Structure 1
Amino acid sequence: MTAISQPVSDIRWPSFITITLAMCTALFLAIFLGGGPVATSAAVGSDPHRASFGICFGPDRYSCVVDGDTIWFEGRKIRIADINTPEISQPGCASEKRLGQQAQLRLQDLLNQGRFTLQGIDRDQDRYGRDLRIITRDGESLGEILVTEGLAERWQGHRRDWC
């Protein structure tokens, strides 16, 4: 028996293999020769994080809203650094608790509307060990939205009396 030698260019590849090879080649060229992956319109300007947030309760907290200025995200407790909201757990009066619950629900709504960015500030954590971050979407602070809606105040370095 003699071996039949056939040039690779004459081989008829199934179309899915041809398409897959073409896509892999294009991706390789874009990454290694073009300096990075080709940006698509969905990736341009998009924020990197997304999660489905519930309201925190019980000991198991992964991605949930504690109150208007504190969340758990992927197992990390985060204090929103640019705002202060009314207290829910130890309010000074009934109206503070009601406003705090409104801020909590509004923050949950804002977080669940889409992707967001966590921006660090001049220090990484507060005295309680919470990560200090400003949460933005498309460059706009979610905390500032709460301030505009009357559910928060800009952080002044201390808690305010909401009663």
Structure 2
Amino acid sequence: MIEVLLAAAIMTSAPQALDGDTFVIDGEHVRIANIDAPETRNAKCDAERRLGRVAKRRLQELLASPGFEMERGDPKSGRNKDRYGRTLATAYVEGVDVGSILIEEELARPWRGKREPWCVK
């Protein structure tokens, strides 16, 4: 809990969504731990790209909400960074896990160790 409060206290700029599961704050690229959202830039089909845009907009809404906090580190793996060097974190709005919100709204799915297709064949 102290880590969450410290993370919130040192944020000086508003977080900006890069896609449905990644945002940047104070120059730090942050990947929301344990979710996978559809891609916007490297989408495999138009449906994925469209859903990716919706997910990005929703994440931006959540990031701009009062009570936004983040806790660095992946609670499941214990890792602090992903393979691309992004900080892994759990984001919260008013104490509610942002990843869980996106999953519930079908704008993301639980991360199971590899990307799963968003395009229906």
Please name the residue that 2:88 is paired with: 132
- Say whether the 8 Å CA contact 2:81–2:87 is kept in structure 1: yes
Please name the residue that 2:115 is paired with: 159
Percent identity between the two aligned chains: 40
Q: Match for 1:103: what amino acid? A: A
Partners of 1:52 and 1:75 lie apart in 2 by 9
Quick check: 1:76 aligned with 2:13? no
Quick check: 1:149 aligned with 2:105? yes
- Report the TM-score when normalising by structure 2: 0.81
What is the RMSD computed on CA atoms of the aligned residues?
A: 2.0
Q: Match for 2:109: what amino acid? A: E
Question: How far does the alpha carbon of each residue in 1:91-135 deviate from its partner, in whole angstroms, 9 at most, with x for none?
Answer: 000000000000000000011111222122201101110000010
Structure 2: unaligned runs, 5 residues or longer: none
* 1:30-69 alignment runs, 5 A limit: 48=8, 53=14, 63-69=15-21
- Of the two, which has the highest radius of gyration? 1
Partners of 2:67 and 2:18 lie apart in 1 by 19
- Report the TM-score when normalising by structure 1: 0.61
Structure 1: unaligned runs, 5 residues or longer: 1-44, 54-62
Aligned length: 109
- Say whether the 8 Å CA contact 1:85–1:153 is kept in structure 2: yes
